[in-house]
Homo-oligomer: A and B are copies of this chain.
Amino acid sequence: MVDVPAALSLSEVPGWDRDVDVIVIGQGVAGSCAALEAHRAGADVLVLERASGGGGASAVSSGIFYLGGGTAVQAACGYQDDPDQMARFMMASTDPLDPAAVRMACDDSVAHFDWLEAQGVPFERTRFKGKAVFLNTTECLFYTGNEKAWPYNEVATPAPRGHKVAGTGENAGAVAMAPLLERCADEGIAALYDTNVVALVQDEAGRVVGVRARQPGGVTLHVRARRGVIIAAGSFNLNREMIAENIPLISETSEPLGIPSNDGAGVLLGLSVGAGTSAMDGIIPTASIYPPGQLIKGIIVNKRGERFVAEDSYHGRTACFVMEQPGQTAYLIVDSEIFAYPEIETHRHTLVDGWETIPEMEAGLGLPVGSLQKTMADYNRDAAAGEDRLLHKQPDWLKPLDKGPYAAFDISFNKSIYLFITLGGLKTGAEGEVLDPKGNPIGGLYAVGASAAHIPRTGKSYASGMSLGFGSYFGRRAGRHAAGANWA
């Protein structure tokens, strides 16, 4: 069991060192947005951040915001989208716990994009047309999820909704965080850095009314929050004990994405006052076979020699299915026409071998006799006809794999290096209010960003950008609500 920090009663507080309306714990994207909205709604806000500066995991992320419904970028790049289509996609793919909150986020998505730009977050009016996991260029719009993958492409008109901030490199998230942190500073929102919240304080009725924090040099601080405490302290990606307890399918070769403070402190603070959690077993794993996109024309088989996921799925969806396969084993099979090495070397998809014939490959991979031969005969027949009857990979990615020699890459979940981020967190309502396991709000407490459960409960329905996109949106809502203001 993971140790939960004990919550304090008022009698355990020697005195308040500071007294504010709203405390925001953590200054990543959700915390920054919460602080800005609470401040602008008239609240006296204090941000407490463990690191020596703001930014959080958001600043080392790839800087993608999932936004849609017809944003200025979508329009400039010639894509049709509307809130209904965005909501259809979200609903069909996520079976969300809180459909009303999802609908609001979709209805408000264009306005939220405009708000981000107004804060100075830069987005180009450009698109990237290829198949990418992330972009190192400043191009903005691209498909980052399962919008074009079956069955979602039949339920909602596909539109790209990944909006990447106009920065280069793998950590372009910093380019989004810089203006948000500048706005916080410009507007005089108080922030204490190197300040680690170690406990919540509850009054007699159980309402959260403040926090205890520690600073370097053994300083202990007690801060009162007259209106609310907003937990925006990130995920539990790096808490090995919480991972082991909640995510049995994780492999020893899996590696968490995140920063040291993604140790679950936010979730644990919520648990200390009786919060509920959701989707704690959910992760987005990734070890993409692409780029190059041509590898999507290969097939992925398990140790029974059978296909099990459409290869053009979002890489996180593909990875979830790999994780569930017998022995967590999977191979990417290609022929000489499409042969290439997967470009993202950090995943260590190793080339098993090359073979002249399919029966030799089947034997070389130790697959049951006839299994891969049947799978490839079926697939090649369907690919020639332009319709993948088994898994509905889209026609663009179909071609018979019949140009030997053949090769296989080992993409097993427990052999390759799958990166992951956790999806679980505190159970919340649409305004970020933290709920107990029965759904009753815990007075004075909010959770947003990766300290709260994501909308998708498994990586099968995640799309890149949903963390920053929805984290910033619900961060704003929580900020306004904590400050006592209505939304919109």
Contacts and interface: CB of A to CB of B under 8 A. Distances in A.
A99 B327 contact: no
Nearest to A278: B324
B100 A307 contact: yes
Contacts of A329: 439
B391 A99 contact: yes
A390 interface: yes
Contacts of A265: none
Contacts of A98: 306, 308
Contact of A95 (B304, B390, B439, B460): B460
A100 B391 CA distance: 9
A84 B308 contact: no
Interface string A290-311: 0000000000001110111000
A439 B325 contact: yes
A452 B460 CA distance: 24
Contact of A99 (B87, B97, B390, B435): B390
Nearest to A248: B437
A453 to B, nearest CB: 12
Interface string A72-90: 0000000000001001100
A389 B87 contact: yes
Quick one: which of A84, A326, A389 has the most chain B CB within 10 A?
A: A326
Contacts of A302: 439
Contacts of A438: 326-328
A400 to B, nearest CB: 19
Interface in A458-475: 460
B84 A389 contact: yes
Given A103-B390, A390-B103, A391-B91, A326 B151 contact: no
Contact of A91 (B303, B328, B392): B392
Interface in A402-435: 429, 435
Contacts of A390: 87, 99-100, 103
Copies in the complex: 2
B151 A91 contact: yes
A92 interface: yes
Nearest to A156: B151
A137 to B, nearest CB: 34
A151 B88 CA distance: 9
A253 interface: no
Contacts of A99: 306-308, 390-391
Contact of A326 (B100, B327, B389, B435): B435
Interface string A367-405: 000000001000000000000011110000000000000
A155 interface: yes
A151 B90 CA distance: 11
A470 to B, nearest CB: 18
A381 to B, nearest CB: 14
A194 interface: no
Nearest to A303: B439
Contacts of A356: none
A98 B326 CA distance: 10
A297 B308 CA distance: 39
A337 interface: no
A440 interface: yes
Given A87-B389, A390-B103, A92 B151 contact: yes
A307 B98 CA distance: 9
Contacts of A325: 439
A304 B328 CA distance: 41
Interface string A322-343: 0011111100000000000000
Contact of A151 (B151, B307, B375, B389): B151
Contacts of A91: 151, 391-392
8 contacts: A88-B151, A91-B151, A97-B324, A98-B306, A302-B439, A325-B439, A326-B435, A327-B439
Interface of A: 84, 87-88, 91-92, 95, 97-100, 103, 150-151, 154-155, 302-304, 306-308, 324-329, 375, 389-392, 429, 435, 438-440, 460
